[in-house]
Amino acid sequence: MNRLKLGSQLNIIFSFVTLLGGMVFLFILNLSFNTAYQNQNKNYLQNFFSELIDRYDANPTTFEYDNQTLYNDYFIIEDGVRTKYTRYNISEEDFNIVVNQIISEYFEQINERNFINVPYTISGKIAYMGRVIKPIGKPRYAVFVVSNSDEFIENMTGNIPFYATISFLNILVLGNIIIWLWSSSTVNKLKDLQDAVNKMIEDDYQTEVKIEDAAEEISSLSYTINKMRIEIKNNEDTKKEMIQNLGHDLKTPIAVIRSYAEAIQDGIEDVTSTDLIIKQADILNNKVKQIIEYSKIGYIENDRNFEDVSFKEVVTQVVNHYKYITDRQFILDIETDWIHLMDKEGCYIAVSNIVDNAVRYAKTKIVIQLSTKKLTIFNDGEAIETNVLPKIFKAYEKGSKGQFGLGLAIVKETMDRFGLRVSVANHANGVLFTIEL
Per-residue pLDDT averaged across 162-184, rounded? Answer: 76
274-327 pLDDT, tens digit each: 777 777 777 677 767 766 666 666 545 555 568 888 988 998 888 888 777 788
Q: What is the pLDDT of residue 295?
A: 63
Report the helix count and the strand count for the chain, using DSSP H and E: 9, 12
Half-sphere exposure of 116 (CA within 13 A, CB side): 17
DSSP string, 275-297: HHHHHHHHHHHHHHHHHHHHHHH
233 vs 205: CA distance, rounded Å: 6
Tell me the fold of 301-436. Answer: Heat Shock Protein 90 (3.30.565)
Q: Tell me the β-bridge partners of 131.
A: 117, 143
The mean of the pLDDT values for the chain is 80
* pLDDT for res 251: 67
| Dist CA 374 CA 434 (whole Å) | 7
Say yes or no to pLDDT of 234 above 70: yes
Asked whether the predicted pLDDT for residue 127 surpasses 90, the reply is yes
What are the distances in angstroms from CA 204 to CA 137, 193, 209, 233?
114, 17, 13, 8
Most confidently modeled of 40-49, 197-206, 228-237? 40-49
Going from the C-alpha of 411 to that of each of 60, 301, 352, 406, 407, the distances in angstroms are: 113, 16, 9, 9, 7
**Across residues 113-118, what is the average pLDDT?**
85
**Which has more confidence, 174 or 110?**
174
73, amino acid identity = D
- Average of per-residue pLDDT across 207-225: 75
Q: Tell me what percent of the residues of the chain surpass a pLDDT of 70.
A: 84
CA distances from 415 to 190, 207, 234, 349, 373 (A): 39, 35, 24, 11, 13
pLDDT, tens digit, for every residue of 75-103?
Answer: 999 888 888 888 888 888 989 999 999 88
Side-chain-facing half-sphere of 295: CA atoms under 13 Å: 6
Contact between 434 and 374 under an 8 Å Cβ cutoff? The reply is: yes
What is the domain partition of the chain in residue ranges?
11-157, 301-436
The Cα–Cα gap between 75 and 85 comes to 4
State which of 6-20, 120-134, 186-200 shows the largest mean pLDDT.
120-134
Q: Is 0.85 surpassed by the pTM of this model?
A: no
pLDDT higher for 383 or 5? Answer: 383
